[in-house]
Amino acid sequence: MLKVLIVEDEDIIRKGLAYTIDWLSVGYVLAGEAANGEEGIEKIIELKPDVVIADIMMPKVNGLEMIQRASEEVQFKSVILTSYAEFEYAKTAIELKAYAYLMKPVDVDKLKEVMGKLLIDIEKENEKELIYQQKNQGMDIELLSSSDSYKNPYVKKTIAFIKKRYIEKLSIESISEELEVSTSYLSRKFKEETGHTYLDFLNMYRVQQAIRLLDEGTYRVYQISDMTGFTDYKHFCSVFKRYTNTSPTEFMKYKEYTS
């Protein structure tokens, strides 16, 4: 459920919006209410609502200034209520990226319709953000692997091997043999410089490549498993979920839904 905060200086209107609307039926819980803009700022920072329904003309701090100031601290969507139809108010509301601008007296059915559409939009934004976060899990591998910050030449060569040959069956034992150093030495130095074990680094890099291929939408999941060095499909799904908190199939569904 999303949280909604109502900021309105007229008690009858505020209480009416707060307690006559069945917020649960439209996907929200009432987080709280405030009687002026100054109190509204405090409540927004304290309660961190997803949506703020606010009147414009209020004592102490008007609704538009409240939204502007509170937005510097908290991310939220706003729905503006006003009995004033002047263009400048609407213009300012647009500049503040208000989701809707509704005239008073409030049409409850219209407000519920707006809140329902807003709920869908917020959920889509949240899903896109989830995908972004999942896609960027382990992005430090890409950044580190392209930097010149490593001092140990064997670590540098190992990372180069991973980037070039991650599709192959690539173990630290085979790499250490190829580099003519002991496996224990290479493992220790690799962890010291990258902050990851060799296997962790390899898996994260492979998952990154898998995400890139999933983004293209050209291949099936089992094909991507083979293309990124995971010869066992179930193991690929397990590793993918470990680093992204979702399965490759779920990732594809999110992508299709939000595209």
Residue 210 contacts residue 236 (beta carbons within 8 Å) = yes
Q: Are 73 and 49 in contact (CB under 8 A)?
A: no
- Residue 131 is predicted with a pLDDT of 57
Share of the chain above pLDDT 90, in %: 44
Summarised one tens digit per residue, pLDDT across range 3-15 is 999 999 999 999 9
CB 254 within 8 A of CB 127: yes
Tell me if the bond preceding 105 is cis, omega within 30° of 0. Answer: yes
Sequence letter at residue 45: I
The residue with tokens 């990372």 is 159
When the pLDDT of each residue in the chain is averaged and rounded to a whole number, the result is: 84
109-164 pLDDT tens trace: 999 999 999 998 888 777 666 655 555 554 454 544 454 567 889 998 999 899 89
- Give dist(CA 21, CA 34) in Å, integer: 17
Q: Do residues 55 and 81 make contact, with C-beta atoms less than 8 angstroms apart?
A: yes
Number of residues assigned to the chain? 259
Tens-digit pLDDT profile for residues 214-235 = 878 788 899 999 999 998 899 9
Separation between Cα atoms, residue 23 and residue 3, nearest integer Å: 10
Q: What Å distances lie between residue 72 and 6, 44, 145, CA to CA?
A: 19, 11, 35
Compare 130 and 184 and report the one with higher pLDDT: 184
- pTM exceeds 0.85, yes or no: no
Question: Which pLDDT score, from 0 to 100, does residue 147 have?
Answer: 46
Structural domains in the chain plus CATH codes: 2-125 (3.40.50.2300), 139-258 (1.10.10.60)
In whole angstroms, what is the distance from residue 253 CA to residue 183 CA?
A: 41
When pLDDT is averaged across residues 93-112 and rounded to a whole number, the result is 83
Locus of tokens 């299709």: 256
What's the CA dihedral at 162, 167, 172, 176 to 10 degrees?
A: -70
Locate 223 and state its tokens: 């094909």
Which residues have CB under 8 Å from 200's CB, separation 6+? none
